[in-house]
Amino acid sequence: MKTLFNRRHVLAALTGSVVLPGVAFASPPATSLRPVARPGSAKPVARTADSIIERANLSGESSFTVFDLTADRPLEARGSTTPLPPASVAKSLTALYALDVLGPEHKFETRILALGPVEDGVVKGDLVLAGGNDPTLQTDDLATLAANVKAAGIIAVEGKFLVWGGSLAFEPVIDSMQPTHVGYNPAISGLALNFNRVHFEWRREGGAWGVSMDARSAKFRPEVAMARMRVVKRSAPVYTYADAGGRDEWTVAMSALGKGGSRWLPVRKPELYAAEVFQILMRSHGIVLENPEVTESLPEGEAITGQSSQPLRLILRDMLKYSTNITAEMVGMAATARRLGRPESLINSAKEMSVWAAETLDLRNTAMVDHSGLGDSSRTTTGDLTRAMASPLSRNELRPLLKDIPMRDSKYRVLKSHPLDVVAKTGTLNFVSTLAGYATLPDGTDLAFAILTADMPRRDALSVAQRERPEGGRAWNRRSKLLQLALLDRWSIAYAD
């Protein structure tokens, strides 16, 4: 007898709230599937999910859900309603949120405004650098804006130089539990430059250290004064940060520098950072601006020029590929601003995204504290994630943006001839590793899946200083990724005809 599945049954099954006739969903099969005889060969035997998880020897919790999109039916799950941190898999939900609210062709625009008339090339008033929520703005883009101002016939500005990033609420960090110096945890506002990172470079010159802080790009390398670094004699900590009002003050331990090197550090004053770089670029065209002042409200003025971002779908494709936290936070907050007006904070925006996910995707156990997954207090389930992946919005809009996930052997070598085709979003925090997306089996069967693993007691025991490279973290993450690949391999054998 053929069992009919409607949307209500399918969605309920993904939460484990109903048992469908003939479908073992709440727990994986207890024994391996038997080989199926074929002319001259036999179908490989799939290991049980329980044996795969046991063999992985992974501390903490491991949950998964897999759904057959071709037959529109759930296949198997373990802990499908257990809330765990999504890590960067959260960016998949953020991408869906932004695609639905803003649209795939949406563009962000950064503008230069004149607050007075232009007479004989002179702006008789203030000039404004106005952010437009573009998370991808680079130094080269500011150089284009400066050149466009010059091309518009501007030769001088009589008034102040104002900068505005107030289209989004300011956040000094994404997650306060991260180390101070990590570049993936910058400040958030409606104006960002170079993903709100400044390039710190050091070199030993004779008996002294030479250091620079710049906003480098492919074409330019403007040094900035709003971020300063001092080399000090100490063994630890490696970096310290202080808010010095108009600038970011850093120190670095001399003992950690070696002979030379570089790294990107987070920017905590994004408006002043972008404004100083623009001021430098304008000076190269002979246009001298006063030192920038941050304005809390956007003044009315006439746009001299603007710089548009790529379409949102391309921004999201890169966000998913490179897992850029600031992109997720800015597009998520921009989506909330479109829905409700500017959110008061990042966490309020994330809560609104959770409301949207419940209303639009019927996610029942998802509660986010940010849009990137960097904060480990966010929670979702494999049932919710798989339901999101099975939605028409995700299959039509998100799936083409996900990156290929190669299958690997036990030594983590890529298996170029493996017949499984996987596109997904990965997620990694210390002692948290996640994966969610789609797998196409050799016979064309299409699956949506989610895998969440986490050892929260071990993660919670880490100090902030330990969170950049915790002892045992890499080995735990490798075991989790091998577990994920083994489950995918199981499904390619167990559910292909």
What would the pLDDT profile of 59-118 be if each residue is shown by its tens digit? 999 999 999 999 999 999 999 999 999 999 999 999 999 999 999 999 999 999 999 999
Tokens of 129: 């650098």
What's the whole-number average pLDDT of the chain?
Answer: 91
Strands laid side by side in the 156-157 sheet? 118-119, 122-123, 156-157
Q: Using CA atoms, how far apart are residues 231 and 243, in angstroms rounded to an integer?
A: 17
> In this structure, what DSSP letter does residue 406 have?
-
- Indicate if the pLDDT at residue 234 is higher than 60: yes
pLDDT band at 44 (very low <50, low <70, confident <90, very high): low
pLDDT computed for residue 43 by the predictor: 60
Pair 284, 146: CB distance under 8 Å: yes
Tokens of 367: 């509660």
Tokens of 416: 């170029």
Better-scored residue on pLDDT, 25 or 398: 398
Going from the N-terminus, what domains does the chain have, and what CATH number goes with each?
Answer: 7-84+381-494 (3.40.710), 109-308 (no CATH)
- Indicate if the pLDDT at residue 4 is higher than 70: no
pTM over 0.95: no
- Indicate if the pLDDT at residue 31 is higher than 50: no
Pair 440, 419: CB distance under 8 Å: no
Note the pLDDT tens digit of each residue in 368-418.
Answer: 999 999 999 999 999 999 999 999 999 999 999 999 999 998 888 999 889
HEC letters along 59-85: CCEEEEEEEECCCCEEEEEECCCCCEC
Note the pLDDT tens digit of each residue in 474-493.
Answer: 999 999 999 999 999 999 99
Q: Return the amino acid letter for 425.
A: K
- Indicate if the pLDDT at residue 237 is higher than 60: yes
- Indicate if the pLDDT at residue 435 is higher than 60: yes
pLDDT band at 2 (very low <50, low <70, confident <90, very high): very low
- Indicate if the pLDDT at residue 3 is higher than 70: no
**CA 333, 339, 343, 348 torsion-angle sign:** negative
| List of residues 6+ apart from 464 with CB closer than 8 A | 177, 178, 179
- Indicate if the pLDDT at residue 40 is higher than 80: no
- What average pLDDT does this structure show over 417-434? 96
- Indicate if the pLDDT at residue 42 is higher than 60: no
Q: Using CA atoms, how far apart are residues 101 and 308, in angstroms rounded to an integer?
A: 19
- Indicate if the pLDDT at residue 27 is higher than 80: no
- Indicate if the pLDDT at residue 1 is higher than 60: no
CB burial class (10 A; 0-12, 13-18, 19+) of residue 446?
A: middle
**Distances in Å between the alpha carbon of 329 and those of 95, 105, 129, 135, 418?**
10, 19, 21, 9, 36
Which run of H or E residues covers position 322? helix 312-322
Q: Using CA atoms, how far apart are residues 422 and 66, in angstroms rounded to an integer?
A: 13
| List of residues 6+ apart from 117 with CB closer than 8 A | 124, 125
- What average pLDDT does this structure show over 197-213? 91
- What average pLDDT does this structure show over 222-238? 95
For residue 293, how many other CB atoms are within 10 A of its CB?
14
Closest of 110, 199, 154 to residue 289, by C-alpha: 154
For residue 249, the Cα-to-chain-centroid distance in whole angstroms is 27
Q: Using CA atoms, how far apart are residues 345 and 67, in angstroms rounded to an integer?
A: 36
pLDDT computed for residue 19 by the predictor: 29
Note the pLDDT tens digit of each residue in 449-474.
Answer: 999 999 999 999 998 877 878 899 99
- What average pLDDT does this structure show over 38-56? 77
For residue 230, how many other CB atoms are within 10 A of its CB?
11
- What average pLDDT does this structure show over 233-261? 93
Q: Using CA atoms, how far apart are residues 130 and 394, in angstroms rounded to an integer?
A: 33
Closest of 86, 63, 166, 62 to residue 372, by C-alpha: 86
pLDDT band at 360 (very low <50, low <70, confident <90, very high): very high
- Indicate if the pLDDT at residue 166 is higher than 50: yes
Note the pLDDT tens digit of each residue in 288-309.
Answer: 999 999 999 999 999 999 999 9
pLDDT computed for residue 47 by the predictor: 87
- Indicate if the pLDDT at residue 231 is higher than 90: yes
